[in-house]
Amino acid sequence: MERRVPVTLITGFLGAGKSTLINRLMSHFAAHRFGVVVNEFGEVALESAIIDAGVDEVVELTGGCMCCVTRRDLGRALKKLLAYRGELDRVLLEASGTSDPLPIMQTLNKRKIASGAFLDSVITVVDLERFQELRANYNTVDAQLEHADIVLLSRYTEVDEHRRETALEAMREIAPRARLVPFESIETLEPLFAGHGYEGRHSSELELEHDAITVRHATLASVLFQSETPLQVDGLRELLNDLPPGLVRAKGYVYLDGKDGRRHKMLLQVVGRRGNLQASPWKRGEKRQTALLFLGHDLDERSLRTRIEACRKDGS
């Protein structure tokens, strides 16, 4: 009998903490053999540079938001990963933050497309601090909640009780079948790895005809910056202290000048008005360069590029 590998789909709006979750799952459940499929922006490997996994453990799905790429592309990505790794215990599939999960779920439920794998569970990561604001502006937030088995709540302890309870009440109404779990309680996800089979619990949404689905996909302006010239950390920090208006999310990695920059890349994470840099070793064979993606509304691309380019070591 053909063995099919369970897939956990990980959704959540931009900056909720999906990549952080994948890193923590791979670390906490180290006995499990994971493969990872990430949704990259164009041809630039941002997510796979942030996720702490080996080269053969990650497959990049390029060509657009995951809910909009063709079903065949997703099937090929899964097939490529399974060919790399052979016997996997589970695949973690990270959807882009603007994706509606339903078209992805339906693709995973089509055996002739996703041969060798099946949709087992859906985790949606929610930033409690930004939940109400994002929900008011993007119907993608509700779409990501509606299909969840588990809603993982980030910034649980950082919001006051009234705000937290108001958000939780709304989530229970949107996703009455989902378990709501604080991000800090990741060990409670152990039952996830028992193997379930999503279609047995959520057959109604998976049976919808593909053409009948109204995809709730958030659209944002984007600015991608790349450079092989090292950047200076002081200029970068100045940028983080004065983020452009309309910015929703920024992420990527930075090649800094000096010896430390040759040893470590700096991972940049910006959510709303919060930004931070964290050192991470360059992976074997990884090109020394900066690649940063900025997403938001009415971004002044020329001004933003000018400010980043001013951080170049040579000043050019």
The domain limits of the chain are 5-212, 221-309
Digit-coded pLDDT (tens) for 185-211? 777 677 666 565 565 556 565 555 444
Q: pLDDT value at position 55?
A: 43
134/148 Cα distance (integer angstroms): 18
Tell me which H or E stretch contains 39. strand 34-39
Exposure b/e, 197-213, CB count within 10 A at least 16 = b: ebbeebeebbeeeeeee
If you compute the radius of gyration of the chain from its CA atoms, what whole number of angstroms results?
19
Tokens of 207: 């049976």
Digit-coded pLDDT (tens) for 88-110? 888 899 888 888 888 888 778 77
315/243 Cα distance (integer angstroms): 20
Residue 160, helix vs strand vs coil: coil
Q: pLDDT value at position 200?
A: 56
Tokens of 188: 């409670």
Q: pLDDT value at position 261?
A: 82
Beta carbons of 60 and 49 less than 8 angstroms apart: no
Beta carbons of 277 and 236 less than 8 angstroms apart: yes
Taking the CA atoms of residue 148, residue 41, residue 211 and residue 37 in that order, the dihedral angle to the nearest 10 degrees is -50
Q: pLDDT value at position 109?
A: 75
Q: pLDDT value at position 66?
A: 45
User: What CATH code would you report for 5-212?
Assistant: 3.40.50.300
289/229 Cα distance (integer angstroms): 7
Residue 312: DSSP 8-state: B
Q: pLDDT value at position 65?
A: 47
Q: Please state which architecture CATH assigns to domain 221-309.
A: 2-Layer Sandwich (3.30)
Q: What are phi and psi of 2, to 5 degrees?
A: -65, 130
Residue type for 275, please? G
Beta carbons of 130 and 20 less than 8 angstroms apart: no
Regions of the chain with pLDDT less than 70: 1-2, 40-72, 84-86, 111-114, 188, 191-219, 313-316
Residue 284, CB half-sphere, CA atoms under 13 Å: how many? 4
153/17 Cα distance (integer angstroms): 10
Same fold, 5-212 and 221-309: no
Q: pLDDT value at position 170?
A: 95
Q: pLDDT value at position 12?
A: 93
Beta strand residue intervals within 70-220, DSSP E: 90-94, 117-127, 150-154, 179-182
Q: pLDDT value at position 106?
A: 79
CB proximity list for 56: less than 8 A, separation 6 or greater? 84, 85
Q: Which of 59, 10, 19 is nearest to 37 (CA)?
A: 59
Tokens of 212: 């009948």
307/258 Cα distance (integer angstroms): 21
